[in-house]
Structure 1
Amino acid sequence: MTETGTITTPVRSAAAPPVLGGLGLFTVLLGAALPLIDFFIVNVALPTIGHDLNASEAVLELVVAGYGVAYAVLLVLGGRLGDLFGRRQFFLGGMAAFGLTSLVCGLAPTAWTLVAARVAQGAASAAMLPQVLATIQSATAGPRRAKAMGLYGATAGLSMVAGQILGGILVAADIAGTGWRSVFLVNVPVVILGLILAARAVPETRSQHPEPIDAPGTVLLAISLLTLLVPLTEGRAAGWPLWTWVSLALFPVAAAAFYIVERREDRGGRTPLVPPSLFSLLSLRRGLVMIVPFSIGFSGFMFVIAVALQRGAGLGPVPAGLALAPMAVVFFVVSLCGPRLVARYGTRIVTAGGLIQAVGVSLLVVTAWRSWPHLGVWELLPGAAVAGAGQALQLPVIFRIILSEVPPARAGVGSGVMITTQQSALALGVATLGTLFLSLASTHGMRDALVTTLLVQLAGVILTAALSLRLPRTIG
């Protein structure tokens, strides 16, 4: 109270912006790792799953494709829902659902039960993963954001390789007689830990101007991705029936309809599921174009090498998984140097990374041609290590480039678009390079099929390096 008897009212300060601390960053990166590990962890477990559940090759492909397609189709919607209702809330809900569906996968009594559980697991991943990047974009700034984005990229790349290694180890370990089921059951305790940490350390963020769900856009995006991914992943095993060609013919029609609807919403001042105006950002547009050939080659290689080493070279799950250990180790070490290299050399390190990866894939081609079928960790080490170094100089930086100009209010939409593009390309890699490899293996033998597939991947690596020349030299 003042001398005149009036009461002073303190000025209320504006609410402090959310801050993502070290423990919170670790937690969201854990959430980012789980879906990517699960996309690849089943590659080396498929033969055991097929034998145990008496599953045909077409059903086994659905175990992989069902997860990937559901994941890709729902990612942008997951990002939008996080913007609308709160990213922390959807991160927690998605992680809990991921743990539950992992448990169902691990207990699946039949192959079709496993396929259904994998589709549900992909949907849970789509609710969880977009919140990771959106939270980083909204709750960090400056050097902390650059470091967090670098760690996200390192986590993503390492998870894709580590998933395959971990899958081989778990299948061979046969923990408590669980066999292949452990590749899913291992998620449960990790999810419980993640939920405890997230409840304590992940701040709540959401868009300041949330928009309602774009139902027409959501449906048309789902139709577009389904008409492309389902026939490509299932066509070869099903014998390319008429429905696969009809579906592929519908894809450009659905994609054009999606674009027209989204452009109309955008011009009307509303926020569509995927705003076409978002692609006016040069960094996002060029980064997305690069992530497609990179991810197609990455996932295609991981699937093909798992099949080649087990069916062709006669390796067990552990040796087949450990053959990629040099790639994982080098990727992790080099990716830690990424932020400093970007600060010094800018985006030129992406071009350098592409050229280094091209050398590594070339070494793998020579090794496969000269040493087949005697392939193992030592034979593959030089090529895998060099390729891993090149990938580490590309992937984390490309992620940073794509989101560098996206405003925080559109963090969920931007991250959803990026991850959907990446996930669709990962699924395309398994479908296209996997189909090429398996088709050639039945007619020309496993060695020639592997060499040819690696040469196709090499062309994709060269394309990625060429596209990187058009990137802006610095990252905002």
Structure 2
Amino acid sequence: METTGEARSAPADSPAFRWRWAALAVILLGEIMDMLDSLVTTVAAPTIRGDLGGSAATIQWLAAGYTLAMAVGLLTGGSLGDLYGRKRMFLIGAVGFTAGSLLCGTAVSPGMLVGARLLQGLAGAMMIPQGLGMIRRMFPPEEMTKAFTAFGPVMGLSSVAGPVLAGWLIDADLFGTGWRMIFLINLPLGLAAVLLGFFFLPSGRDGHASRLDLVGAILAALGAGLIVYPLVQGRELDWPAWMFAMMAASGVVFTVFGRYELRRQRRGSDPLVRPSLFTKRGFSGGLVVGLVFFAGMIGFSLAYSLYLQIGLGYSPFKAGMSQIPWSLGTVFGFPAAMALQKHGRTALQIGTLVMASGVAGLVLTLQLAGTGVSPWQLTPALVVTGFGMGLLMAPFFEIVLASVDENETGSASGTLSAIQQLGAALGAAVLGTVFFGLLGGHVATAADKDAPAMRASLASVGVAPAAQDRIVAGVRACGRDRATAKDQAKNPASCVRLETDVRTAAAAHPQSAGRVVAIVQSSAIHSAKTGFGGAMKITLWIVAGMLLLTFLIAFLLPPRARPAEETAPSTPTPATA
């Protein structure tokens, strides 16, 4: 079987690689695995924490750990393919991703699961970048556009299927595996990618391979870790001074990284990131746009899923199904963006405004519908949000890369994809921290507002005023403490006291005991839902603000992408968020 024949994109008369369409299917399979695993934990996180334990930070790390590892790995993934062969690195990445999935599916502690997610992210960063290089080598110029066009539907369908599949697998509890099946399902997919890749992917290495910039990679990883770790853990550790020192140190490390890359380029060695890229306003602006936008998008996705499951009590499957309108809106936004392609940057900015209006629509929906909000009521605003996201994402990479020179495209693409993943990690860290930080205060405020009605109901069944006071105070304290608990498996002391006070009040009125318990439970549930809704609305306003900031920063981008004939051979395949 022909596995060594390669067709470079440059010579128009080079023979096309014989198994190119089968190889494209293998590359897309790798993309599907990455796309699914970047999305599933936003739905599965509450169930995972309920089973394994852990704090709110565990939920954030499930998303941030994967994308942080992916961000760091993407900076070197393409270079490793140049050095050791793209087929080899794709297969190593697929094996590592499958092994990481097995470890995730058999994890016995939050730490083991987060560590396995890091392994998945690093392996994905070795696997995903190889696809672009192999496509450029396998396909003749006249087929290049068709090959790249396949990514849109695959990514769109994966974004729809990811949350739904995760929710269904958890609720189905196949073979008693529960949430673990969302990772174990990667085992047959990964095995197929390895076996088919071995037979169908082209072998060989690029002639322009250079030495790997290991020092640059270590500095980049250190700088990213120093900023993400405190943002995730700071709230639970009460923001000690050393956390702020870590964030300050991150800036120092990135400064050292920049100077090292500049010296490396001056010595004639290939840097991890070309410093000349940052002298271009369009590219630098594009990095900031990507950082802010993808942080807002992933942060929103995480907070929204937590709100649906923990706040509204949706099952994982119902929560996954509730996100379909958002994904479908994104799928519809991509072809609409193609129709607006001639407008370039303006189309991208229209997308940010449409998405911001959708987010504002979600706030309005939550305000009007209250704690009884249904998936159908959320659908219109979610479709608008997703549609705007599609309008923005479709032209993003091409417009940003329009400001770089042709010989810088490879470095620029890798850097832009890495920034996309870093933004996702920061979004899970920052907006997750904001959301959880708001919960306690909002649940307590909601309990205060519900207190007069609860007092009246308790009085109607004969509960004495003193007992009413203890129960009302207990509902407030228990709701606040449960929302801010670092260990969800442990019942807060305030909740234990509340249970005792309710039992005492019920025993004093045996004929109304069931009614007393029902009144307290109903009030506690209502205040918790209201508190979650309040925290979600503020988080959504922050997301809307980030989108408006994206709109303003986008003025730094070039007005248009390069003509199609200039960009077709080097169009980057965006890494999934």
- Work out whether the TM-score is over 0.5: yes
Deviation, 1:76, is 0.6
CA distance in 1, matches of 2:205, 2:279: 23
Summarize the alignment of residues 291-302 of structure 1 with structure 2, pairs less than 5 Å apart.
Answer: 291-302=290-301
Matches within 5 A, 1:68-147: 68-136=67-135, 139=138, 144-146=143-145
Task: Measure how far apart 1:218 and its partner are.
Answer: 1.4
Q: Greater CA deviation, 395-404 or 85-94?
A: 395-404
Task: Describe the superposition over 1:156-200 as per-residue Cα deviations: whole angstroms up to 9, x where unpaired.
Answer: 566455433322121111111110101101111122222344334
Alpha-carbon distance between aligned partners in 2 of 1:231 and 1:118, rounded to the nearest angstrom: 19
Amino acid at match of 2:559: P
Residue 147 (structure 1) shift: 5.4
| Native 8 Å contact 1:58 1:238 kept in 2 | no
Q: 1:289 to 1:115 in 2, by over 3 A?
A: closer
**Which residue in the other structure is 1:198 paired with?**
197
Which blocks of at least 5 consecutive residues in structure 1 are unaligned?
A: 1-12
Instruction: Decide whether aligned partners of structure 1 residues 153 and 453 sit closer, same or farther in structure 2, where only a CA change above 3 A counts.
Output: farther
Secondary structure of the residue that 1:272 maps to in structure 2?
coil
Moved more, 58-67 or 262-271: 58-67
Residue 101 (structure 1) shift? 1.3
The alignment status of 1:388 with 2:394, answered yes or no, reads: no
Unaligned runs of 5+ in 2: 1-11, 443-530, 564-577
Paired AA for residue 420 in structure 1: A
The CA distance in 1 between the partners of 2:222 and 2:339, in whole Å, is 42
Task: State the TM-score, normalizing by the size of structure 2.
Answer: 0.74
Q: Aligned in 2, Cα 1:25/1:351: closer, same or farther, shift over 3 Å?
A: farther
- Equivalent pair of 2:83/2:211 in contact (CA under 8 Å): yes
CA distance in 1, matches of 2:404, 2:134: 13
Q: Give the distance between the partners of 2:332 and 2:15, measured in 1 at CA.
A: 36
Aligned partner of 1:355 in structure 2 is: 353
Q: Where does 1:300-449 land on structure 2 (aligned, <5 Å)?
A: 300-342=299-341, 344-403=342-401, 413-444=411-442, 445-449=531-535
CA contact (8 A) 1:331 1:389 kept: yes
The Cα shift of 1:151 comes to 4.8
Q: Is 1:453 aligned with 2:452?
A: no
Q: Residue 17 of structure 2 contacts residue 138 of structure 2 at CA under 8 Å; is this kept in 1?
A: yes
**Structure 2 equivalent of residue 65 of structure 1:** 64
Which of residues 465, 468, 473 is equivalent to 2:560? 473
Which of 549, 562, 570 does residue 463 from structure 1 map onto?
Answer: 549
C-alpha separation in 2, matches of 1:45 and 1:255: 34
Superposed displacement of residue 270, structure 1: 1.4
Matches of 2:311 and 2:228 in 1, distance apart?
A: 27
Mapped to 2, the partners of 1:18 and 1:410 lie a distance apart of 26
> Does structure 1 retain, via aligned residues, the 8 Å contact 2:46–2:310?
no
1:150/1:370 Cα in 2 relative to 1: closer, same or farther (>3 Å)?
farther
Partner Cα separation in structure 2 for residue 303 and residue 258 of structure 1: 31
Q: How far 1:303 moved relative to its partner?
A: 0.3
Structure 1 residue 441: Cα displacement:
1.5
Change beyond 3 A, Cα 1:156–1:51: same
CA-to-aligned-CA distance 1:353-393 (integer Å, 9 cap, x gap): 22221221121111122212223320111011011111111
Whole-angstrom distance in 2 between the partners of 1:347 and 1:140: 30
**TM-score calculated relative to the size of structure 1:** 0.88
Could you tell me how far apart the structure 2 residues matched to 1:157 and 1:293 are? 22
**Alpha-carbon distance change, 147 to 235 in structure 1, aligned in 2, over 3 angstroms:** farther
Q: Distance in 1 between matches of 2:80 and 2:111?
A: 30
Deviates more, 1:447-456 or 1:49-58: 49-58
Alpha-carbon deviation of 1:154?
5.9
Kindly tell me the number of residue pairs found equivalent between the two proteins. 463
Cα distance in structure 1, aligned partners of 2:381 and 2:52:
36
Q: Which amino acid aligns with 2:377?
A: E
Partner SS for 2:542: helix
Query: 8 Å contact 2:64–2:424 — kept in the other structure?
Result: no
Per the TM alignment, residue 21 of structure 1 is displaced from its structure 2 partner at its CA by 4.0
Relative to structure 1, the CA distance from residue 276 to residue 134 in structure 2 (aligned partners, 3 Å threshold; closer, same or farther) is: farther
CA offset at residue 64 of structure 1? 3.2
Between 1:151-160 and 1:53-62, the stretch displaced more is: 151-160
User: 8 Å contact 1:69–1:427 — kept in the other structure?
Assistant: yes
Q: Deviations over 1:209-254 (max 9, x none)?
A: 1110112211211111111111112222333234322211201100
Aligned-pair identity in percent equals 35
1:186-225, aligned counterparts within 5 Å? Answer: 186-204=185-203, 206-225=205-224
Distance 1:194 1:250, change over 3 A: same
Mapped contact 2:438–2:535 kept (Cα < 8 A): yes
- Taking the aligned partners of 2:357 and 2:31, their CA distance within structure 1 comes to 29
CA separation in 2, counterparts of 1:355 and 1:447? 24
Measured after TM superposition, the shift of residue 340 of structure 1 is: 4.8
Shift of residue 138, structure 1, vs aligned partner:
5.2
Query: Quick check: 1:19–1:203 contact (8 Å CA) kept in 2?
Result: no
The 8 Å contact of residues 283 and 472 in structure 1, kept in 2 or not, is answered as no
1:340 and 1:58 map into 2 onto residues whose CA distance is 42
Q: CA deviation at 1:302?
A: 0.4
C-alpha distance in 2 between matches for 1:357 and 1:62: 26
- In the aligned structure 1, how far is the partner of 2:343 from the partner of 2:146? 16
| Residues 115-124 or 293-302, more deviating | 115-124
- Contact map agreement 2:337 2:391 (CA 8 A) in 1: yes
Cα separation, 1, equivalents of 2:16 and 2:267: 31
Which residue number corresponds to residue 255 of structure 2?
256
Q: Choose 27-36 or 309-318, whichever is displaced more.
A: 27-36
Cα distance in 1 for residues equivalent to 2:156 and 2:238: 33
Alignment correspondent of 1:165: 164
1: CA distance, partners of 2:545 / 2:112:
38
Q: Is contact 1:167-1:321 (8 Å) kept?
A: yes
CA distance in 2: counterparts of 1:289 and 1:174, whole angstroms: 42
Give 1:236's aligned amino acid.
Answer: R
Query: What amino acid does structure 2 have at the position aligned with 1:457?
Result: V
Measured in 2, the distance between the counterparts of 1:144 and 1:403 equals 22
> Which one-letter code corresponds to 2:551 in the other structure?
A
For residues 225 and 156 of structure 1, do their structure 2 counterparts lie closer, same or farther at Cα, with a shift above 3 Å needed? farther
In 2, Cα distance between the equivalents of 1:148 and 1:454?
Answer: 37
The structure having more radius of gyration, on CA atoms, is 2
Alpha-carbon separation, structure 1, partners of 2:248 and 2:415: 24
Post-superposition offset of 1:112: 2.6
- Mapped to 2, the partners of 1:133 and 1:402 lie a distance apart of 18
